[in-house]
Amino acid sequence: MLAVRWRVDGVFVDAPSSGPAHVVGVRGQPDRATARRTIRAALVAALAQATGLPPERIVLCGASGEAPYALLDGARRLSVSISHDGDLSVAAVRLDGGAVGIDVMQVTDVADWEAVARDYLGPACAAALARVPSSARAAAFARAWSEREARLKCRGLPLEEWRTEDAPLVLACPCLPLALPDGYVGSFVQPAD
């Protein structure tokens, strides 16, 4: 599990021993627009601290629907991944320029979980979820979904229905669970380069 520590202001940051990746998060934002601004500000602050650059020399880029990235000093490009659900937002960046993926999901019952799992998580995952006791299924589904999203983000792929031919590429990205507040699960992907 990727250890994170919460500060009193509701922001969390990764432990310094996590290598070239940094994970930040914010919680308790009143709406998605505020959450987007706040997580981006926290990410820029973390990058400024990690790189020694002033925040104004760090720009977060990427149009809607595109994978975001950070541009340092107008030249150095770093992969960034951002996720929101409920009142929690998380972001990850690799200082060495490598790929990264992160996703967070609130644990809730999904009424049509079987169809969604079959269509997006694949037949093996859908079958595994069917074997999970109903009392634990919401958390298991959220974990599987979070892993899929983080892996897709790491590979720069959009969320699409399951395709057998994509499985080897996506599953090659090992996931670490994030230590998050109760009611949330999250996954972090930093492939070994």
Contact predicate 104/185, CB 8 Å:
yes
pLDDT at 2: 47
Q: Tell me the H-state helices in 71-133.
A: 113-116, 123-130
Q: Write the pLDDT tens digit of every residue in 127-147.
A: 999 999 999 999 999 999 999
Annotated domain spans of the chain: 4-189
Q: Tell me the H-state helices in 13-161.
A: 32-51, 113-116, 123-130, 134-155
pLDDT at 50: 85
pTM above threshold 0.85:
yes
Q: Which two tokens stand for residue 102?
A: 């992160």
pLDDT at 106: 95
Per-residue confidence band for 121, with pLDDT thresholds at 50, 70 and 90: very high
- List beta partners, residue 82: 91
- List beta partners, residue 9: none
Q: Write the pLDDT tens digit of every residue in 8-48.
A: 345 555 544 445 778 888 888 889 899 899 999 989 988 99
Q: Which two tokens stand for residue 84?
A: 């929101």
